[in-house]
Amino acid sequence: MSIAESQLETLVSRIEARDRRSRRIGIVATVIPAIIGLLIIGLASSQVSGLNGKAKAAEEKLRATEEKLRTTEEKLRSAERELGETRTTLRELASFERYVAHITPADIKHLGALYPEKSHLFFNLFRSMERDTPWKYGGRTESEGFDSPTFAAYVLDVLPEFGPGSTRELLLRRFSSVSQPRPGDLIFYPNGYVMFYAVSERGEELAIGMTPFGVGALKFRFAQPLQYRRTQ
């Protein structure tokens, strides 16, 4: 091989080596930005994921706070209702006190014996008095208590027939009107009271039913009767 050919071969080898270095540098120059980009994307995704987690946690905390607020508002409304009922009961206690008639469970039991056709009704009255069934506006069970109309419906075993609505109005529609009451008939008074007519052994006319004092008797004329309904 001549000197010229040897030099040419050396030159070609250098050019090829330089070309290979240039390609490697090009590859590295291409790959490094891509790697950096992926790292940046990964970091950003991690940060976004962390922010999303914090946002979800904040939303859950907000929902929990709103739920607590709703519960507190409901308790407050319930307390206000109970306070209103207590005030009403106290006013009624004051107005009824002078009309209370003394009657015992034994007296009611005796009425059941005097009027056997109404014995079941008087037995329910007797049992409720013995159990000290409480007064509760809108109540519908012995444990919860009753108001005057719901107690009358309970004693007559018709309360399960009545859904939502005014129990007083439902009783008016359920039983026939009469001009004169007999023992065990319903008496409808102002202010929503519904009581049972009775006559004591002494001949005193009474209204027996649920009062703010509990199950008891009031004088028949504690208020002007509006209507009577025959219960049997």
DSSP 71-96: HHHHHHHHHHHHHHHHHHHHHHHHHH
Does 79 have pLDDT greater than 70?
A: no
pTM recorded for the entire structure: 0.59
Does 135 have pLDDT greater than 60?
A: yes
**Nearest C-alpha neighbor of 216 from the set 112, 118, 99, 138:** 99
Q: What pLDDT digit, counting tens, does each position of 22-37 carry?
A: 666 666 566 566 666 6
pLDDT of residue 156: 92
Q: What pLDDT digit, counting tens, does each position of 181-194 carry?
A: 999 999 999 888 99
**Nearest C-alpha neighbor of 142 from the set 216, 231, 215, 217:** 215
Q: Which of 61-65, 86-90, 155-159, 174-178 has the lowest mean pLDDT?
A: 86-90
CB 154 within 8 A of CB 143: no
Q: What pLDDT digit, counting tens, does each position of 105-123 carry?
A: 777 778 888 888 888 888 8
Confidence band for 178, pLDDT divided at 50, 70 and 90? very high
Structural tokens at position 150: 């719901």
The Cα 229–Cα 51 span in angstroms is: 71
